[in-house]
């Protein structure tokens, strides 16, 4: 901060309706300027000022960026990866398993907790920040990995399970175990990735346990998980097992960054929100970070900041927090701009935030704690992701590039989705499970999925589901492995489509009738073929099939399709699953989401993700639009201004 303006900042925060801030994160070098020398004056000052202003505080542990003195004293705290050891400078470059890092991290956390634990401004704690394993793979990590292997495998079972005979990689003595860094064995790579994800789970659980020793019963512990990054929050995070890591926490938190301006679709907000909500089994979550101005290309159009804020609530968020309050004047995130620009003056984005703050203050009792009951689940798997991505050279695509179009199709037709992962054993709440590229999975999971169909469930698989087992050994049984029973198909070959479409355009998508990247040459056994390939040679193979299995239906999509084509396929699936409803008659850019609030009322959001004004007949039960406090009845004409939102409290239960 170039000069002191705490009082002015708090005044402007209050004007914007901000009622909670997060502090202390990443301030290790300020809090502990030298080894075992502590200085809490900055924390104290802010805590007191916030308390006085009735702004709640979340204390973040400062451990995700290490101070200069620690690196000077213990250079090994910087992680060693396949590309060598990190240099000091950026955050998140430490080895989270390093003993010196752990000792010093524990001490600074305890010192902070001892100091702040009784402060009345604090409502909760955040452990670390967007923790991942940072590819740590040095000798100590390798040693721990081998120890974990010894617990799971004998040498014989290891060599056999991972096929290590190949290229003479066989390990005949545990002491011969080479570093995984040069490995070309996908099974070993996947196992090491799983081990690295467990390091993250363990690290967060360890920090949480320390915090819990000091925290009051009414204070929560959270963490801000982040997603696979493609310049924005894109998909499933490879480096963290979110469901596992979230177990230690009281409340799941998530950081959501997404395109805006002409590219704002609401998909990332919905995707990350559904994921965060699913981490703790449907519990409401915090959006701990999202953009205010963000990157230059993200400066929101008028109305977008509001639409975004309400979109988070519509997905079940109980907090929307911006990274960050004001733009900072030096270093890496200088142009990750906050609510305020560098000049600290009100600007269009801040001014719009003020309207959000006002509406939140007025309506939050109705809007928070929204509960959702979804009929549809999307099954993702870190194991499948790691394994599939290991073969990117073969499949020419990555896990999230297959998964996202399935999610996007459901989002665009207003189908509410929960995320589930292989640890979820109870499918009974769902009518339809969507399973993109479950490339690696244990028999048990696939058999459970078969049973779900047999009992009446609907399921959609993408290509390469069931291919390999939990050790990334390709199944030697008929493909698709095990699920061929429910799907009623087999294939033994697959190839790369060139100029391939679906014969006779069965889903009526015209110019969008296109296959790309990957196709399986499918033969139906009991399945009904929904689409054959249109190609001189492959024309007798099926592309998309469905199969009645027991009381249910299993659909299989054997190729990578255009987005529009997949949307048409999924529309058909949703209809056959009996889930087509009045909501589905709306469609992107009109998105509707709902839930039941604490008062037992249905709250319905209707959002316009476009720069065009949209006229529509309101198709739901009568209620009250909360932002305008106007009544609305079924079939009444409704106008949604560009980038606008309506929030209707439905009458009755």
The residues, ordered by sequence, that sit 6+ positions from 559 with a Cβ below 8 Å of its Cβ are 463, 497, 500, 515, 517, 518, 519, 520, 533, 543, 544
Nearest distance in Å: CB 330, its own copies: 3
- Provide, rounded to whole angstroms, the least separation between the CB of residue 531 and its own copies: 20
Please, which residues have CB within 8 angstroms of residue 544's CB and are 6 or more apart in sequence?
502, 529, 530, 531, 555, 556, 557, 558, 559, 569
If the CB atoms of residues 13 and 417 are measured against its own copies, the closer one turns out to be 13
Find the angle CA(230)-CA(236)-CA(240) to the nearest 5 degrees: 105
**Strand ranges for 17-73 from DSSP E:** 20-23, 56-60
548 beta partners: 553
- CB closer to its own copies, 231 vs 600: 231
Question: Does 298 belong to an annotated binding site?
Answer: yes
Contact by Cβ (8 Å): 170, 164: yes
Closest separation between CB of residue 540 and its own copies, Å?
11
Q: Which of 130, 291, 352, 520 is catalytic?
A: 130
Cβ proximity to its own copies, 151 vs 175, nearer residue: 175
Q: Could you give the CA distance from residue 380 to residue 488 in angstroms, rounded to a whole number?
A: 23
Which residues, including other chains, have CB under 8 Å from residue 110's CB and lie 6 or more apart? 210, 214
Token pair of 417 as six digits: 């989705």
Residue 582: how many other CB atoms lie within 10 Å: 12
- Min dist. Cβ of residue 103 to its own copies (A): 17
Nearer residue to its own copies within complex by CB, 39 or 599: 39
Largest pairwise CA distance in the chain: 76
Of residues 459 and 472, the one with the C-beta less far from its own copies:
472
Strands 614-617 and 623-625: unpaired
CB of 284 to its own copies, least distance (A): 30
Minimum distance from residue 81 beta carbon to its own copies (Å): 12
Torsion of CA 466, 469, 475, 479, to 10 degrees: 0
CA separation (Å) from 522 to 180, 364, 405, 498, 553?
36, 52, 22, 17, 18
Least separation in angstroms between residue 460's CB and its own copies is: 23
CB-nearer residue toward its own copies: 340 or 632: 340
- Cβ–Cβ < 8 Å for 63, 25: no
Q: How many CA atoms lie within 13 A of 535 on its CB side?
A: 23
Query: Looking at beta carbons only, is 280 or 475 nearer to its own copies?
Result: 475
Query: Considering 25, 32, 191, 289, which one is annotated as catalytic?
Result: 289
Give the integer Cα–Cα distance in Å for 151 and 442.
Answer: 19
Sheet bearing 122-126, strands edge to edge = 20-23, 56-60, 122-126, 220-225, 251-256, 285-291, 317-323
91 is in an annotated binding site: yes
Assign residue 368 a region (left: φ > 0; alpha: ψ between -120 and 50; beta: otherwise): beta
What backbone phi and psi angles, to 5 degrees, belong to 405?
Answer: -60, -30
Minimal distance in Å, beta carbon 101 to its own copies?
A: 13
Is the link from the previous residue into 480 a cis peptide, with omega within 30 of 0? yes
How many Å apart are CA 308 and CA 315, to the nearest integer? 11
- For 231, the token pair is 């310049």
Nearer to its own copies, 109 or 376 (CB): 109
Helix/strand/coil percentages in the chain, nearest 5: 35, 25, 40
**Can 130 be counted among the known catalytic residues?**
yes
Radius of gyration of the chain (CA): 26
* Whole-angstrom distance, CA of residue 411 vs CA of residue 266: 9
Report, in Å, the least distance between residue 305 CB and its own copies: 12
Q: Which is nearer to its own copies, 305 or 410 (CB)?
A: 305
Residues 205, 227: Cα–Cα separation, whole Å = 19
Q: Which residues are annotated as a binding site?
A: 91, 129, 298
Q: Which residues are annotated as a binding site for substrate?
A: 91, 129, 298
Residues designated as active site: 130, 289
């Amino acid at each position: 901060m170039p000069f002191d303006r705490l009082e002015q900042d708090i005044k402007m925060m209050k004007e914007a309706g901000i009622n909670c801030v997060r502090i202390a994160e990443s301030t290790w070098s300020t809090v502990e300027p030298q080894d075992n020398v502590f200085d809490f004056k900055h924390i104290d000052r802010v805590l007191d000022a916030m308390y006085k202003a009735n702004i709640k505080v979340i204390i973040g542990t400062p451990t995700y960026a290490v101070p200069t003195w620690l690196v000077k004293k213990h250079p090994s705290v910087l992680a060693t990866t396949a590309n060598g050891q990190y240099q000091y400078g950026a955050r998140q470059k430490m080895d989270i398993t390093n003993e010196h890092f752990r000792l010093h991290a524990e001490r600074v956390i305890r010192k902070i907790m001892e100091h702040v634990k009784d402060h009345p401004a604090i409502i909760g704690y955040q452990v670390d920040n967007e923790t991942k394993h940072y590819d740590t793979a040095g000798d100590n990590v390798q040693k721990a990995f081998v120890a974990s292997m010894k617990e799971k495998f004998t040498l014989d079972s290891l060599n056999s399970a991972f096929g290590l005979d190949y290229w003479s990689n066989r390990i005949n003595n545990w002491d011969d175990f080479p570093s995984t860094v040069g490995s070309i064995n996908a099974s070993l790579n996947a196992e090491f990735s799983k081990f690295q994800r467990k390091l993250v789970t363990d690290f967060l659980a360890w920090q949480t346990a320390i915090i819990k020793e000091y925290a009051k019963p009414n204070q929560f512990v959270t963490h801000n998980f982040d997603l696979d990054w493609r310049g924005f929050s894109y998909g499933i995070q490879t480096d963290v097992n979110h469901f596992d890591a979230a177990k230690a926490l009281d409340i799941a938190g998530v950081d959501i960054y997404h395109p805006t301006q002409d590219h704002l679709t609401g998909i990332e907000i919905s995707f990350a929100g559904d994921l965060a909500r699913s981490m703790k089994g449907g519990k409401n979550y915090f959006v701990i970070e999202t953009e205010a101005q963000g990157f230059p290309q993200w400066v929101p159009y008028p109305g977008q900041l509001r639409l975004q804020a309400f979109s988070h609530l519509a997905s079940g968020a109980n907090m929307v927090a911006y990274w960050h309050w004001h733009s900072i004047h030096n270093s890496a995130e200088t142009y990750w701009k906050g609510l305020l620009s560098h000049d600290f003056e009100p600007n269009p984005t801040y001014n719009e935030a003020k309207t959000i703050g006002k509406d939140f203050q007025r309506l939050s009792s109705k809007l928070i704690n929204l509960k959702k009951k979804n009929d549809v689940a999307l099954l993702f798997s870190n194991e499948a992701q790691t394994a599939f991505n290991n073969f990117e050279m073969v499949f020419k695509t990555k896990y999230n590039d297959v998964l996202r179009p399935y999610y996007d199709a459901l989002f665009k037709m207003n189908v509410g989705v929960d995320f589930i992962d292989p640890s979820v054993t109870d499918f009974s709440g769902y009518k339809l499970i969507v399973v993109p590229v479950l490339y690696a999975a244990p028999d048990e999971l696939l058999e459970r999925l078969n049973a779900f169909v047999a009992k009446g469930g609907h399921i959609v698989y993408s290509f390469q589901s069931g291919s390999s087992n939990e050790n990334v050994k390709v199944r030697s049984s008929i493909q698709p492995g095990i699920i061929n029973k429910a799907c009623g198909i087999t294939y033994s070959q697959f190839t790369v489509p060139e100029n391939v479409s679906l014969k006779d355009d069965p889903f009526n998508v015209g110019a969008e009738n296109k296959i790309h990247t990957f196709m399986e040459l499918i033969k139906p056994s009991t399945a009904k073929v929904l689409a054959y390939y249109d190609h001189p040679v492959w024309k007798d193979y099926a592309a998309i099939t469905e199969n009645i299995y027991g009381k249910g239906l299993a659909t299989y999509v054997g190729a990578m399709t255009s987005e529009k084509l997949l949307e048409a396929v999924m529309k058909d699936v949703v209809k056959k699953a009996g889930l087509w409803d009045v909501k589905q008659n709306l469609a992107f850019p009109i998105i509707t989401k709902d839930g039941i609030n604490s008062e037992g009322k249905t709250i319905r959001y209707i959002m316009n993700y476009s720069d065009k004004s949209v006229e529509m007949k309101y198709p739901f039960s009568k209620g009250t639009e909360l932002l305008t406090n106007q009544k609305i009845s079924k079939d009444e004409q409704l106008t949604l201004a560009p980038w606008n939102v309506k929030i209707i409290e439905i009458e009755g239960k």
